[in-house]
Structure 1
Amino acid sequence: MYIYLLDIKFKIDCSFSLKDKREVIRSIIDYARNSLKISSAGLTDNDMRNFAHLGFVTISNDNDKK
């Protein structure tokens, strides 16, 4: 069994409030869950309006690298 993990921090230039930040993060997380079928969550930097820290994880039985 293989576990794949992605931990990413990035800056959101178009974010002028926490509401703008949540909108951007929500669209990324929804895309990951619905289209890519991977689990994701916001990790830290919740009170900073220009920075985000997201984590993504998925589990697979094979290591197919096509």
Structure 2
Amino acid sequence: MAVVVCEIQYSIHDSFSLKDKRQTVKSIIDRMRNKYHIAISEVDDLDMHNKTTIEMACVSNSRQLARSILDKVQAEIESLYSVDVLSSYWDEL
């Protein structure tokens, strides 16, 4: 069994209030959780209106498969939403 964890800090464009940010973050989390069946949550920068930190985890029988799923999630977030990656941290257990 392999667990891959990824924590990514995003800058959110077009977010001028906490309401705008929460709408975007909720959309990201709901879409990625339903499509890829991963654990995903906002873990930091909760009170900043234009920045968020999202952590996601995938459990699989293969590290390569879990890593490729999270890579797809990250690429999809960047293509569908107006965000920029500020930093990222990956860990494999």
- Give me the TM-score of the superposition, normalised by structure 1: 0.90
- 1:32 Cα shift? 1.3
Report the Cα distance in structure 1 between the residues aligned to 2:50 and 2:26, rounded to whole angstroms: 15
Unmatched 5+ residue regions in structure 1?
none
Q: Radius of gyration: which is bigger? A: 1
* Equivalent pairs, count: 66
Distance 2:58 2:8 in 1: 15
Detail structure 1 runs of 4+ shifted over 3 Å in the superposition: 63-66
Structure 1 position 15, deviation (Å): 0.4
2:58 matches 1:54: no
The unaligned stretches of length 5 or more in structure 2 are 69-93
Structure-2 residue corresponding to 1:25: 25
TM-score, structure 2 normalization: 0.66
The percent of aligned pairs where both chains have the same amino acid is: 36
- SS class of match (2:48): coil
Matches of 2:61 and 2:36 in 1, distance apart?
A: 16
Residue type of the partner of 1:51? Answer: K
Offset at residue 61 of structure 1 (A): 1.6
CA distance in 1, matches of 2:5, 2:64: 16
Q: Does the C-alpha gap of structure 1 residues 62 and 48 become closer, same or farther in structure 2, counting only changes over 3 Å?
A: same
Shift of 1:64: 5.0
